[in-house]
A = this chain, B = another copy of it.
Amino acid sequence: MKNLLITALLFISASLWAQSVTSPSGRIQVDFHLSDEGNPSYSVLFDNKEVIKPSPMGFRLKQGIDLTYGFKIIETKTRSVSETWEPVWGEVKEITDNHNELRIHLQQYASDSKMDIVFRVFDDGVGFRYEFEPNQKLAYFQVTDEATSFCLTGDHKAFWIPGNDDSNEYYYSTTKISGIDTRLCDGKGIGTHKIIDKHCIQSPVMLKTDDNIYINIFEAALSDYPAMLLDVNVNNYTLKAHLAGSATDVKAFMQTPCKTPWRTILISDNAADILASKTILNLNEPCKIENTDFIKPQKMVGVWWEMHVPNKSSWNYADKFNIKLADTDWTTLTPNGRHGANTANVKRYIDFAAENGIDGVLVEGWNVGWEDWAGNWKEEVFDFVTPYPDFNVEELSSYAKSKGVNLIMHHETSASATNYERRLDSAIGFMKKHGYNSVKTGYVGWIIPRGETHDGQWMVQHYERVIKKMAENGIMIDEHESVRPTGQHRTYPNLMACEAARGNEYNAWSIGNPPEHETILPFTRLMGGPMDYTPGIFKIKMANYQAGNTCQVHSTIAKQLALYVTMYSPLQMAADLPENYNLYKDAFQFIKDVAVDWDTTKIIEAEPGDYITIARKAKGTENWFIGAITDENKRTVEFYLDFLDPDKTYLATIYADGKDADWITNPESYSISTKKVTSGSKLKIKLAAGGGCAVSIYPIK
């Protein structure tokens, strides 16, 4: 904040203050406006063309203070930042943060309240947020509504899911803005399905204008504030911040000094730039974990998919549907014979992981409480420290250790965050005693504290409390059913992945995920951080599959492989059963080989809803991995390998769809071929309908 530069204020007219700030390249420009009534607003230009029309800013507070008008400008400041930093893990080894900042110090005439609006303008987008310094007039305040809006210039194409502050597990709808109607969305299989309003959608929303400009609207660095959904005006194409709900009429309890998350607008005429953007990460705080040695990207298998496929295994040990945690002696229950997390079965997974160089084994259903865990908004379900009688934690911990495999802890909270918090110290004690260094958390159901929501301020604070506590104890975390991430894995890189979207699991027991699903997720949910999507299902059709029903993965096997590259995560599951991988050992080789941490990423081509092709170089190596996926349409991808080192020759192994492959009729058809390639080579690969292709490229020594 030392390199301040007071820039001239422009008077556009007697009635309007305005000040501009442009991105380093000049392609993106933000204009801040203050009307003569003191209403703050902003607009955004891309290549001198308006992308966001003048749009309202500010807040409405419970105390009757309306922070949307009556402001005067006290001072403005600009500064330029150009720096690089290294993430602990990521898609690239080094990230450049290159932006110009404009800070507007505002003061409200009536209330004396002070509010800063800060814009950071990057070459691929804009972030802005509100900051409040401590001041006596506004030491504490209670936000009931955020006025921030995004006034769009036309009836763009939108990729969206319904606004639900208790779930993000929807498949995407693609409509014009004017066609958004969330009442039509399918909520089957979503335990906390609800429609807030027919015109309320979740962020991020991915947009494409008629003249092929791509716009992504989201937020960065969500902390101590509710998540931002969006109220859509289908008539004038305005999106307005809709803060996730709470147990009271107050959405956010604020204490100065404080700041909101960044509201982000990514813009490009090339969809690939949206995927490559590091703006959301750059808007997050630097790493706050001092010693990050415990954080290691990894692959895992797990006692998990067998509970999703029909009629195989269960999380629960017994079949008994009215149980009280405090009163139950699980050793006296009659086992149902289908309990997945039994010692012998877990050993089988440990053996499989050890044989195949997989780092970790996730075990769900290891702890008591699953007999009666969901659906009753019940507070005391799990204690996180009591294994079922058939899960020998000591034996398995030492067995896994002897095989060089990490057991991954599972803490399903049944959305009872209060119960989890009060037991967290003892749960972590149990993990440390038994050598677990990573945990998957889950929040299935309606939140307790009752009335709070998964995406509201209280739960946002909760997730952060848990992430921090895990960090303090040297534990990596993978959150399921949490709020969607907004880049805070920069700050807390022990947050390896989140679910917070519709994962592969839906293919096992619902209408599933349409083939386009994985071509949209990187443009939406993944903008904020890695997803634990659980790819790699080889047994595409479920045991109960029948022509006409949809219980299958909506994909070919080759596409499942490609997802390890296109769906970036430092925590990747090989989600299928060991016995299914053993049927296709040649294809499984790609999962064994593929990296989970990268030096370089090249988005070769991308179009939301249609296709994505990405190449990545594994961290600290010269090995490249490529993934290409398509939607329900078959497609030929063609690209040069010009990212390879021109001085090297490589062996490419191509895991392609079989000639007769088709996600519906023949999804398990694939062919594997190898060829020598150089940086001058070009690959041309056919993707089946619902198909994909994975390529590994190793230098030839």
Contacts and interface: CB of A to CB of B under 8 A. Distances in A.
A195 to B, nearest CB: 19
A256 B321 CA distance: 11
Nearest to A324: B255
A3 interface: no
B248 A322 contact: no
B450 A450 contact: no
- Of the listed residues A248, A250, A322, A461, the one surrounded by the most CB atoms of chain B closer than 10 A to its CB is A322
Interface residues of A, number: 31
A376 interface: yes
A134 interface: yes
Contacts of A422: 421-422, 424, 465
A290 to B, nearest CB: 16
A377 interface: yes
Contact of A134 (B140, B322, B424, B425): B322
Nearest to A323: B255
A514 interface: no
A378 interface: yes
Interface in A226-268: 246-248, 250, 253, 255-256
A418 B134 contact: no
Contacts of A421: 418, 421-422
A152 B324 CA distance: 39
Contact of A247 (B376, B379, B451): B451
B378 A253 contact: yes
Contacts of A250: 450
Interface in A584-618: none
B451 A256 contact: no
Given A418-B421, A424-B422, A248 B140 contact: no
Nearest to A142: B377
A418 B426 CA distance: 17
A139 interface: yes
Interface string A470-504: 00000000000000000000000000000000000
Interface of A: 134, 139-140, 246-248, 250, 253, 255-256, 321-322, 324, 376-379, 418, 421-422, 424-426, 448-452, 458, 461, 465
8 nearest interchain CB pairs? Answer: A449-B449, A247-B451, A421-B422, A139-B322, A247-B247, A140-B376, A425-B425, A451-B451
5 contacts: A134-B322, A422-B424, A448-B449, A449-B450, A450-B458
Given A246-B450, A418-B418, 14 more contacts: A139-B321, A247-B247, A253-B376, A253-B377, A255-B378, A418-B449, A421-B421, A422-B422, A422-B465, A425-B426, A449-B458, A450-B451, A450-B458, A451-B451
